[in-house]
Amino acid sequence: MTLLSQVENPYIITRLDADQRGENLLECLSCGACTSACSWFDQEGGPVPRLIMRAALMGLDDLIVQSGALWDCLLCNRCTQNCPMGITMSQIIGQGRSHPDARDQIPEDIQKGVKTRLEVGDVNGLTKEEFVETVEWLAEEFVDEMDDPQATIPYDQEGSKFLYLPNPRELGINLLHLTAMAKLFYASKETWTLSSRHTDVTNWGYFINDEEVARKMALMVVEPAEELGIETLVLSECGHGYHVLKTLTEKLIGRKPGFDVISIPEFVMNYVDNGVIKLDPAIHPFKVAYHDPCNLARKSDLYDPPRKLLAHCCEEVVELSPNRENGICCGGGGGMLQDSSSKPKRMLTGKAKADQITAAGVTHVAAPCLSCHRQLGEISAHFKLNVAVDTIASMASKCLVL
Amino acid sequence: MATVEMNGKTFEIDEDGFLLDYNSYCDEWVEYVRTQEGIDELNDEHWKVVKVLQDYYEKNGIAPMVRVLSKLTKFKLKHIYELFPSGPGKGACKMAGLPKPTGCV
């Protein structure tokens, strides 16, 4: 066996970061608790967390790079939650993904998305002109829908209190979701705006673990937001987008951004609490299971506001078991959902979630992340779960009493 | 490769159920997607959306943005969802035989 001392310049272990608790790899007890917590556990051919830990520790980068584990891993950190020493798997896999020998493993869609985002400003390639035309068109329909000539979907309004940062889907294929979010801002009676200079909550620099790319993408959000002079940036329901902007940005850009960052369910919950937004739970007269997106829950400590909001939007919130910090990934995390060739794989990684939903005996599931939302819908169809899937903010929008 | 059959014709589809070869689009394909989408009966408005998508795709090699689809058909966004419950991408584009949209979808 090759030992660390015999391997020349091991890449992964020397790059692990003390801030993110990746540095404690040497504390690995080799117990295998990580492996038993993995969504791939019952599936053939998936990554074996314990093997990855040991290989990284011994400097056997090649073994990890060639194992296929780097892009099969969902970065959900459930293994980390289970680890008695708290070794952070997403750090190890992240460093593996940025290994020079692993660059050609980056899924084609992710490579393309990163390039497009850096060049155009939106991962789907939406240009500023297209953004303006789309938003102005939606705003016209919004006036009719709200039956209020003052109703608006504003953009580039300096000095607004809130800036909403959409998910690219909301400006592409799922425009109705953007209109639903506009209704929530309308109901809050606050000043808000979109920005034509940054339209995209995603940061795929995180998926490829390229700090320079992640830093550029974070600045593409931070600088225009500061120039608009907003107080609070409200993020679309996006797991990794929230994780990066809420918990990693200060480190990435080397300073605190000049505004607060919250997710849209938190924003709505604040205005439910102060009595401005009123919701009618009878709109959804059924029980709804809450799904914890890994990036929001385990990785960013956001557990209660979306649950509290969901409780105002339906008959009863059902907890999946296990949940919160022990919750199970939807099966599409870590960039897997963003790779359009990954469907067969995602129906393996989604099995544990599907079983959990079946055991809960519900007809509806809701998640505050549009990626989880899509994956949950696909596993519902694949495993014939017959559950309807929605996002928390979208359910809140349907419950508005105006 | 997965295949589906409808009224004696066989179609190759991708993992999300989109037609792999645009040229194999035909009435039987439309019938297949209609049943999948749970649409009772196709009317002139459904056909208008399908034709507009196909004309645009044949000229430009990509599907139009939803705003452009709305402009060309003169249908409001909500109405497009009334016609195709899965929406313009997963419903209408699929029926028109266009490939699956990629990117952050």
| pLDDT for residue A318 | 98
- State the virtual CA torsion across A264, A270, A276, A282 in degrees, nearest 10: 70
| Residues A356, A357, A359: CA angle, nearest 5 degrees | 65
| pLDDT for residue B30 | 97
Instruction: Return the active site residues of B.
Output: 104
CATH number of the domain residue B30 falls in: 1.10.10.370
Contact (CB<8Å) A344/B77: no
Alpha-carbon gap, residue A278 to A266, rounded angstroms: 15
Q: Does A381 touch chain B (CB under 8 A)?
A: no
- Which segments of chain A have a pLDDT < 70? 1-6, 18-22
Instruction: Give yes or no: residues A363 and A293 share one domain.
Output: yes
**pLDDT tier for residue B47 given thresholds of 50, 70 and 90:** very high
CATH number of the domain residue A310 falls in: 3.40.50
Would residue A153 be called left, alpha or beta, if left means φ above 0 and alpha means ψ between -120 and 50 degrees?
Answer: beta
Residues 6 or more apart from A27 whose CB is under 8 A from it? A85, A87
Closest-CA residue of chain A to B80: A176
The whole domain housing A229 covers 109-271
ipTM of the complex: 0.83
Q: What is the 3-state secondary structure (H, E, C) of B43-89?
A: CHHHHHHHHHHHHHHHHHCCCCCHHHHHHHHCCCHHHHHHHCCCHHH
| pLDDT for residue A20 | 66
Distance from CA of B83 to the nearest CA of A (A): 14
Q: Does A354 touch chain B (CB under 8 A)?
A: no
Q: Is residue B105, in this structure, part of any structural domain at all?
A: no
Q: Which amino acid would we find at residue A180? A: A
Q: pTM score, two decimals?
A: 0.93
Give tens-digit pLDDT for A348-401: 999 999 999 999 999 999 999 999 999 999 999 999 999 999 999 999 999 999
Q: Is residue B104, in this structure, part of any structural domain at all?
A: no
| pLDDT for residue A7 | 73
Are β-strands A192-193 and A162-165 bridged in parallel, bridged antiparallel, or unpaired? parallel
Instruction: Give yes or no: residues A267 and A154 share one domain.
Output: yes
Instruction: Give yes or no: residues A255 and A284 share one domain.
Output: no
Instruction: Give yes or no: residues A311 and A383 share one domain.
Output: yes
Instruction: Give yes or no: residues A251 and A353 share one domain.
Output: no
| pLDDT for residue A6 | 62
Residues 6 or more apart from A217 whose CB is under 8 A from it? A117, A118, A202, A203, A204, A205, A244
Q: Which amino acid would we find at residue A385? A: L
Chain A partners of B100 at a C-beta cutoff of 8 Å?
A: 340
The number of folded domains in chain B is 1
Give tens-digit pLDDT for A82-127: 999 989 999 999 999 999 999 999 999 999 999 999 999 999 999 9
Phi, psi angles (nearest 5°) of residue A369 = -155, 125
The number of folded domains in chain A is 3
**What's the token pair of residue A146?**
């709200």
Alpha-carbon gap, residue A367 to A169, rounded angstroms: 16
